Amino acid sequence: MLRSSEKFAVIFFLAGSLLVFASFMGIETSTYLMNLIGQIAAFSLLALSLDLIWGFCGILSLGHGLYFAIGGYLVAMHLVKVAFEKTGTPPDFMLFMGWEDLPAYYFGIESFAYLLFIVISVTLSISLIFGYFSFRSRVTGVYFAIITQALVYMAMLFMFRNDTGFGGNNGMTGFSEIFGLNFRENKTATVLCGISLAVLGLSLLGCKKLVDAPLGRFMRAVKEDESRLRFLGFDTVYVKLTAWCISAMLAAIAGLLYVPQVGIINPRVLSPELSIEIAVWVAIGGRGSLVGAIFGAVVVSGLKFILTGLVPELWPFILAILVVGIVIYLPNGFSDGAKVFDRIARRLVSAPRRKLES
């Protein structure tokens, strides 16, 4: 029998597959709605990536925006190269710098297979190096969170430079097509939304299988009492490093899915605010529940899309009130809320029965 996480994984995958199928059957959908759902699906995958390392290993990262940006910038390079080769129109940063051609590190990036290889290679390299030295040095708790925040901030400052070939302050935009599909067509938005939902479903299922496997039990043991685990002779460094690298890969995939749907990427994705917001999604949804992290991302990012259009100046205050309320009344996020509502519902159902019996 399927458990809740597996049920949601199947629902996401089937919904995504149906959307892709519908797009190729010529069924029209709302481009705005497809873009909105696709972006929220990418954010949900990003929240899932943090929940894997924070909810099950007890390692809080305030720098997951770095891996999100890696996937986003690399797919933007792919899209810029494809557009440049097809139209011959150079991107804005080339005109600004007076370059006649793209930098050498754009070589081969027009191939989607090569793009995936580069995303995996770069993400694994950075997460392995950073994770190994951090975990080997036994950096934990707030100190680890501060280091991750410093790392993503350093990356943001670097990407603001105009001579990097990544668009500088203005970022990268002007994408024309992906998978041979024109971005101006409704079909493209539907396909990207469907792929995002399907990938979210597969990732959720994979994470559920992982946390139920022996590695998942070691991850929980690290969270509960890492010192005792080391005393028993287990090397916790490689447990944390494995979870960290998987988490980083999921965040990079989220960035890869997000950028084609918004049509732009700039250094703001590396801002500390986004990385903190990811932690807020997970905290509100409920750490260590997987589905809770997705629910938190859907609720908060959905509210943000709506309220920033209506009362943009009030959104930070609304988010702050929501976070404070959750921390005080539901320490484990909405997963606690579900239990509270379940208890209330049971009492309401059982109250008339007790009166009849008395």
Nearest to 269 by CA among 153, 174, 131: 153
Number of H helices and E strands in the chain, helices first, is: 13, 2
pTM of the full structure: 0.90
Nearest to 255 by CA among 34, 41, 102: 41
Strand partners of residue 172: 265
**pLDDT at residue 73, rounded to an integer:** 95
- In whole angstroms, give the CA distance from residue 106 to residue 108: 6
Torsion (CA) 263, 307, 199, 288 in degrees, nearest 10: 140
Angle (CA) 142-152-318 rounded to 5° is 70
**In this structure, are residues 52 and 34 in contact, taking their beta carbons and an 8 Å threshold?**
no
First-to-last C-alpha distance (Å) of the chain? 39
Nearest to 201 by CA among 3, 6, 13, 5: 13
Q: Which residue type occupies 156?
A: M
Nearest to 275 by CA among 107, 145, 86, 125: 145
Q: Which pair of structure tokens corresponds to residue 117?
A: 């290889």
Q: Which pair of structure tokens corresponds to residue 257?
A: 């899915």
Q: How many CB atoms within 10 Å of residue 158?
A: 12
Nearest to 174 by CA among 99, 88, 300: 88
Nearest to 134 by CA among 36, 214, 243, 37: 243
**pLDDT at residue 177, rounded to an integer:** 82
**pLDDT at residue 344, rounded to an integer:** 53
**pLDDT at residue 229, rounded to an integer:** 87
- In whole angstroms, give the CA distance from residue 47 to residue 26: 33
- In whole angstroms, give the CA distance from residue 68 to residue 45: 10
- In whole angstroms, give the CA distance from residue 125 to residue 252: 12
Strand partners of residue 182: 177
The mean pLDDT values, 10 residues at a time, for the chain of 358 residues are 74 90 84 91 96 93 94 94 85 83 88 94 96 91 92 93 87 84 84 94 94 92 88 89 96 95 92 90 88 91 87 85 81 64 56 54
